[in-house]
Structure 1
Amino acid sequence: MTQELEMDSVIRQRIRGLRLALGWSLDNLAARCGLSPSTLSRIETGHRRIALDQLVPIARALGTTLDALVESGSDEDVVIRPQAGHSQGLTAWILSSEDGLHGKTVAKMRITPERPNGVEQRSIHAGRDWFTVLSGIAKLELGERTILVHPGEVAEFSTMVPHFIGAHEGPVEILTIFNHDGGRAHLHAGDHAVGQAAH
């Protein structure tokens, strides 16, 4: 029962918060959702029970969905506790949830010179990859070029060009964002153990 009351309170806060963010009075929202200003006031203040048939037009008027309005407010999906996945010369931590970031995967990678290198290690997939160097120097092999990326620098490139990220002279740590194809290519295909960290 307490959980239901807490969720009820969260929904009321969201309605009021969205209304105020839009700069609307109760009258403005009432005109858009077909409920009276007094009904909306009682819903926001907790003096009236929230009915599903009221939430649908309210959500629509506020430019959101019913699902978004009633989604859980728990912190379970806020904090991600990444597990390290390992393969030779590579440790990766997946820093995003599977349903977050519109299909993108955020990962922190620690690469050492022991990571296997060579033409057969290069990948090609649709989209673009992006990474920034946190420490050390990354060696980006992109087509026929070798590019050194230093701490604080960012590399963004088409992944239709054969590419490989390695370590130059010592360990390197990077923060990277992959699209769906990039995540599969870099975290699952050749690096089975790293892929396990993503699940």
Structure 2
Amino acid sequence: MSAADESREEGGTIFQSGVGRADDLDRLWTPHRMAYIRGENKPADATSGECPFCRVPTLSDVEGLVVHRGETAYAVLNLYPYAPGHLMVCPYRHLADYTETTDAEAAEIAAMTKRAMSVIRGVSGAEGFNIGMNQGHIAGAGIAAHLHQHVVPRWPGDQNFMPIIGRTKTLPELLADTRALLASAWD
């Protein structure tokens, strides 16, 4: 073993000679995020056959993480949430722009967004929300081909050093558990 490959442990910190000094930072591994980084499940183009938001309604509520189904839209947990309870309200119809919604779709998206806020607030004590749609790739839409409105719950101090400096989000609950909690409180 060369000097560059030698390592020793002191007080739980591993030091590797030739590699660098310990930085005293803890590591949180989030391998599930790699699918998002690689763009898996992201449609290659604007066709509905490539779209995860068109595929989700064909799955069971549990498998698709669907919280509620309406007549023209549905609420689904975000696979890559910014915060616990982060969900999206999506029309069933494959369309990209909010101006393309029918009056019925726009009304149901708005009503579901209001209901999502009430449910999330009721089960988790969220004190605020970020609500929004990113229209087009240039505006930050990860999946620009299918309209979706984000409902992101917020709490005091939730934007601490982890996402800002550590570029890591911590989620205290499994998505399946969050889905069950929100779905049972919806009606």
TM-score range, shorter chain: 0.3 to 0.5
| Structure 1 length-normalised TM | 0.33
| Structure 2 length-normalised TM | 0.34
Specify the structure having the higher radius of gyration (Cα).
1
